[in-house]
């Protein structure tokens, strides 16, 4: 019995240890979160696999220009050799008579090797160049995906941090309103104050409580979204270690405003440029189809014949040659294919010019948005300080009986509105910085 108790206790300890381990908190700074996402985000993992596929495609295409070597072997057992009739007169017999003869042996065997090598093939050469370009595009596409995901991680991180701060504001505000409501209600029940004052404070208390619960739900959704971006389980415990002051200090726009926009560094511009090059290769490939192709080939084989499987007579044979293929006429199919590729190239160039113009417009718009966002953030930051000071003064005056409950409720609403406006200004500032970072192709700060 004692042994059973010991085993049960050991099992319980192991269960508790396992649960504690599974609930370990993952504590991440913004830098840690981005590094974690780079390694574990599922979309990025697939983008890395696309890079591997592109690399293999290059080698697969290049292998078409390498020698082709094939080996072969066969053995035939002629179970019943065909019988033929020949005029007996050929062998000194009587005219009109025939002799039955069989040509062949019981066993025929052979083995050999053949080699072919493309010497010149324009389509293959262009195909190799195109495959390399696809690999470059895959690399740039990966960088674009990485930039987009890092941008989403930063935005989610900030949404969580500002939501946490707003929750603290609402919690503190709710505690103050609740305490004040309890005091006023007690005095109203004792007939020392108006019941209307208590009712107004109760309505305000309920409104703040609803705002707190709504913000809490939004925080949970933002946390779940960040976990998905990081590639971690939705049940994992996540703690963000960076504080808002340090984060905002690292996202000041002054340094970015003076940074020159080098359009060649922009990932969208790079992809568009590669698309033009790809269309050029497609046109070149169509033109290469009208060029002659030259290949070399060689074959060596041994043929064995005999009536005994392991006692055959072997005879070698081999040949070496060149094959020249010259396209002459294909019913104008190649001509129209080339014309279509030319139009596609012109279309691709026009699209590239449009993207270039759009990026230049975006740059000016994003710089303007960043300036506006920063100015608004500074104004809202000052408004919160003023609104908090007014609220503190209003609370003091209300407790002294110098202001009405209606004035207090209105002042409290103004303060919460100022805090909410500050949060929106912070998020708008971060998004403006991030958008310009992506446009300039900076490393996400």
pLDDT tens digits, one per residue of 99-142: 888 888 999 999 999 999 999 999 999 999 999 999 999 999 99
Mean pLDDT over each residue of the chain, to the nearest integer = 89
pLDDT at 443: 62
Phi, psi of 79 (to 5 degrees): -60, -40
pLDDT at 1: 46
Phi, psi of 67 (to 5 degrees): -60, 145
Nearest one of 385, 380, 394 to 428, comparing CA atoms: 380
Q: Left if phi > 0, otherwise alpha if psi is -120 to 50, otherwise beta: which for 273?
A: alpha
Tell me the per-residue pLDDT of 360-397, one tens digit each, with 9 for 90 and over: 999 999 999 999 999 999 999 999 999 999 999 988 88
Q: Please state the pTM of the whole predicted model.
A: 0.81
Cβ proximity of 430 and 155 under 8 Å: yes
Tell me the per-residue pLDDT of 17-41, one tens digit each, with 9 for 90 and over: 444 444 578 999 999 999 999 999 9
Looking only at the bridges linking them, the beta strands covering 237-240 and 293-308 are unpaired
The distance of Cα 129 from the centroid of its chain, to the nearest Å, equals 25
Q: Which CATH architecture has domain 67-120+292-326?
A: Single Sheet (2.20)
Query: How long, in residues, is the chain?
Result: 445
Q: Residue 97 has what DSSP assignment?
A: -
Tell me the per-residue pLDDT of 166-225, one tens digit each, with 9 for 90 and over: 999 999 999 988 988 898 888 888 776 778 888 888 998 999 999 999 999 999 999 999
* Numbered ranges of CATH 2.20.200 in the chain: 67-120+292-326
* Residue whose entry in the numeric block shows the structure tokens 């939705």: 234
The gap between the terminal CA atoms of the chain, to the nearest Å, is: 63
Hey, what are 230's tokens?
């990081």
In angstroms, the CA 301 to CA 217 distance is 78
Give the class (CATH, top level) of 26-66+121-291+332-440: mainly alpha
* Numbered ranges of CATH 1.20.1600.10 in the chain: 26-66+121-291+332-440
Residue 95: band (very low, low, confident or very high) from pLDDT cuts 50, 70, 90: confident
Give me Rg for the CA atoms of the chain.
41
In angstroms, the CA 156 to CA 230 distance is 11
């Amino acid at each position: 019995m004692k042994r059973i108790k010991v085993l049960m206790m050991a099992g319980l300890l192991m269960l508790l240890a396992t649960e504690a381990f599974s609930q370990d908190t993952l504590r991440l700074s913004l830098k840690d979160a981005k590094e974690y996402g780079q390694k574990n985000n599922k979309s990025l993992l697939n983008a890395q696999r696309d890079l591997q596929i592109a690399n293999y495609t290059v080698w697969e295409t290049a292998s078409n220009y390498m020698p082709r070597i094939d080996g072969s072997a066969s053995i035939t057992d002629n179970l019943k050799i065909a019988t033929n009739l020949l005029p007996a007169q050929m062998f000194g017999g009587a005219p009109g008579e025939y002799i039955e003869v069989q040509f062949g042996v019981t066993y025929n065997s052979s083995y050999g090797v053949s080699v072919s090598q493309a010497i010149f093939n324009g389509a293959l050469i262009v195909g190799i160049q195109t495959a390399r370009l696809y690999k470059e595009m895959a690399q740039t596409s990966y960088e674009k995906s990485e930039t987009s995901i890092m941008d989403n991680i930063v935005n989610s991180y900030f949404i969580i941090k500002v939501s946490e701060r707003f929750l603290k504001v609402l919690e503190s505000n709710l505690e103050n309103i609740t305490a004040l409501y309890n005091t006023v209600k007690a005095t109203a029940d004792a007939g020392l104050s108006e019941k209307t004052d208590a009712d107004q404070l109760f309505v305000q208390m309920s409104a703040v409580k609803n705002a707190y619960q709504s913000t809490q739900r939004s925080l949970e959704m933002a946390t779940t979204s960040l976990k998905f971006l990081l590639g971690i389980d939705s049940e994992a415990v996540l703690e963000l270690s960076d504080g808002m002051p340090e984060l905002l200090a690292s996202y000041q726009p002054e340094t970015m405003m003076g940074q020159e926009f080098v359009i060649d560094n922009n990932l969208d511009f790079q992809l568009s440029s590669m698309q033009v090059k790809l269309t050029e290769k497609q046109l070149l490939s169509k033109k290469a189809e009208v060029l002659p192709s030259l290949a070399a080939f060689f074959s060596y084989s041994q043929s064995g014949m005999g009536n005994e499987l392991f006692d055959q007579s072997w005879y070698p044979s081999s040949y070496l040659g060149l094959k020249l293929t010259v396209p002459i006429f294909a019913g104008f199919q190649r001509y129209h294919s080339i014309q279509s590729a030319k139009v596609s190239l012109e279309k691709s160039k026009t699209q590239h010019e449009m993207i270039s113009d759009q990026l230049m417009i975006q740059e000016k718009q994003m710089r303007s948005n960043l300036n506006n966002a920063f100015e608004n953030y500074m104004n809202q930051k000052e408004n919160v300080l003023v609104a908090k000071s007014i609220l503190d003064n209003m609370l003091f005056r209300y407790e002294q009986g110098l202001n009405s409950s209606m004035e207090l409720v209105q002042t409290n609403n103004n303060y919460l509105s100022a805090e909410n406006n500050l949060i929106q200004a912070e998020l708008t500032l971060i998004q403006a910085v991030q958008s310009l970072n992506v446009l300039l192709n900076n490393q996400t700060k």
